[in-house]
Amino acid sequence: MLDRSLNLAGAEAELGAVRAAPVGWAVSPGRIAYPNAVAAMEARAATIAVGQAGELIWLLEHPPLYTAGVSAKPADLLDADRFPVFASARGGQYTYHGPGQRVAYVMLDLERTHGSVRARDLHCYVDGLEEWLIRALDQFGIRGERRVGRVGVWVADRAAGTEAKIGAIGVRVTRWVSWHGVSLNVDPVLDHFTGIVPCGIRAHGVTSLHALGVLATLEETDLALRGAWTTVFGS
């Protein structure tokens, strides 16, 4: 499911080579069960932390499910019987994952500086993830925006005076290695979000590329994400 970890046998020169290597990319076909994904991420992050694997961005889809981040409020789970619900060690509140949504799990060594993202700076890292999604959306002619006090990426309809969330972010950092990551709504069933209060925000809804008239595929979305990555995080 993930690319094979490098076996460095403790050699100092090779260890430095892995830490300096370009970030790898992996795409999983089908729909990956959430517990399996968490176990794989946690194992990969541990091997990155000791220099036995390279950094990785893992692109995938999940079957329909809800996850509760460390700040989730019980009242924000509106329909506990609709889909499986998983407790998650990531930051944030409730979110939905499902078909038509591109999930990108980002496993980086944050002891290092990556492009414009400074080492050991979690706020800068989250800002970098937001900027990454914003620049990917720009390739489809969509203006993604930040909101003060609301992590994620938003799309505004100024004529109607409304806005909706298109990209969510929830991260965990262990020994200065990041895991979990971002999700971008390409063409999920937006009604699936109604079983929760997404990210604890009741005043605004969610949207997707297709809802905005951009009929991109997941593969086209992946190309946009890969193209935007180096403009923020470097090569």
CATH of the domain at 227: 3.30.930.10
The answer to whether the beta carbons of residues 56 and 25 sit under 8 Å apart is: yes
For residues 33 and 48, give the distance between their C-alpha atoms in angstroms, rounded to a whole number: 23
| Positions marked active-site | 199
Closest CA to 206 of 86, 76, 103, 101: 101
Name the residue type at position 98.
G
Nearest 5°: CA angle at 224, between 231 and 29? 125
Q: Is the pLDDT of residue 2 over 70?
A: no
- How many domains is the chain partitioned into structurally? 1
The answer to whether residue 96 sits within a structural domain is yes
The answer to whether residue 3 sits within a structural domain is no
| pLDDT value at residue 20 | 56
Q: Is the pLDDT of residue 1 over 50?
A: no
* pLDDT mean over 135-157: 95
Question: By mean pLDDT, which of 26-35, 37-46, 177-186, 202-211 is the weakest?
Answer: 202-211
Long-range CB contacts (within 8 A, 24+) of 50-53: 51/8, 51/15, 51/18, 51/19, 52/5, 52/6, 52/7, 52/8, 52/18, 53/5, 53/6, 53/18
* pLDDT mean over 34-56: 97
Q: Give residue 188's domain range.
A: 12-233
For residues 235 and 224, give the distance between their C-alpha atoms in angstroms, rounded to a whole number: 15
The strand pair at 177-185 and 94-97 is best described as: unpaired
- Token digits for 208? 């997707």
| pLDDT value at residue 5 | 35
The answer to whether residue 6 sits within a structural domain is no
* pLDDT mean over 205-223: 97
| pLDDT value at residue 158 | 76
The answer to whether residue 175 sits within a structural domain is yes
The answer to whether residue 60 sits within a structural domain is yes
Q: How confident is the model at residue 203 (pLDDT cuts 50, 70, 90)?
A: confident
